[in-house]
Structure 1
Amino acid sequence: STEHHLEDFGKGIYSAEMTEKTYDKMIKLARDAISRGKVCCLDASFGLASQRAKVLKLAKDTGVPYLLIHTKAPEKMVRQRLDKRLRKSKDPSDGRWEIYTVQRKRFEPPVEIPADRILELDTSKHFESIIEKRLGVLIS
């Protein structure tokens, strides 16, 4: 659906209950896919250790290796990208600057994840240069 739900953080789709349901559903779908031999990419903010713990448990339970891709970009660029994405009528994301700033303040660094399982990406660079520099990490 491309319908936007512009709600405040902590309400509606951004409520703690709805967020937990969304993450739980994503983990369930990933578990099902892994059981069928599929590879998964879980795309979410995973800003809280409790959210990442569910993925770590999934990886441990299934014996599947994981990699956390932690992206960063200058604040000005993040705001421009979020504003542009919100204006695109076909982008289903409801993410916007107001949500991002709250998530950023609540972000818990992934200290529970070993450094060799974290890929830091500066997304202010061109995608091709990011891939060229980091591809080795992904396949090693």
Structure 2
Amino acid sequence: LGFYWLRSDAIRKSLFGSFYDEETTKKVYEELIKRAKEHKDAVLDATFLKKWQRKLVVDNFPDEYYFVLIKADENIIKQRLQTRKDISDADFNVYLMQKASFEPPDEIPPDRLISVENNGKEDISLILKKLVDKIYMR
């Protein structure tokens, strides 16, 4: 689709290895924003669990952002995390901790928040097409 893919996990590992704490998280999100500014169209692949993390995007790209909130059944999440083989270290226990600390994106205007139900039955390419259609139809 022509978007540059910036992954917080890849940035964290390249800068800090497997180390992870609040200060590391802050630096990773700042680096994510810095790198996003270098590209016209980018996907910032990160959890954005906290309002301060989303505020970084809103403040730096006031009219050029969309947040995608993907929801899935917890059994599907658990299965995917158990079978996933990529750069992320997150497992189901990490998911549960993140779920407990999640701050709902109620500060994001509805026209900038795209919510997707991913129940595991629909092909990911169809989900992506829906997302792109929503973004470009606005």
TM-score of the superposed pair, with normalisation by structure 1 = 0.77
Q: Which amino acid is 1:119 matched to?
A: I
- Computed over aligned residues only, the root mean square deviation of the Cα atoms, in angstroms, reads 2.2
Tell me the SS of whatever aligns to 2:38: helix
Larger RCO of the pair (alpha carbons < 8 Å, separation 6+): 1
Percent identity among equivalent residues? 34
* 1:138 corresponds to: 135
1:128 deviates by 3.7
* 2:116 corresponds to: 121
Superposed, which structure 2 residues align to 1:25-40 within 5 Å? 25-33=31-39, 38-40=40-42
Task: Tell me if the contact between 1:30 and 1:40 (Cα under 8 Å) persists in the aligned partners.
Answer: yes
Aligned residues: 121
* 1:21 corresponds to: 27
* 1:42 corresponds to: 44
Structure of larger gyration radius: 1
1:129 deviates by 3.6
* 1:9 corresponds to: none
Counterpart CA distance in 2 for 1:128 and 1:21 is 32
Tell me the SS of whatever aligns to 1:71: strand
Counterpart CA distance in 2 for 1:135 and 1:27 is 21
Unaligned stretches of 5+ residues in structure 1: 6-11
Counterpart CA distance in 2 for 1:25 and 1:76 is 33
Counterpart CA distance in 2 for 1:139 and 1:13 is 38
Unaligned stretches of 5+ residues in structure 2: 1-8
TM-score of the superposed pair, with normalisation by structure 2 = 0.78
Task: Tell me if the contact between 1:27 and 1:55 (Cα under 8 Å) persists in the aligned partners.
Answer: yes
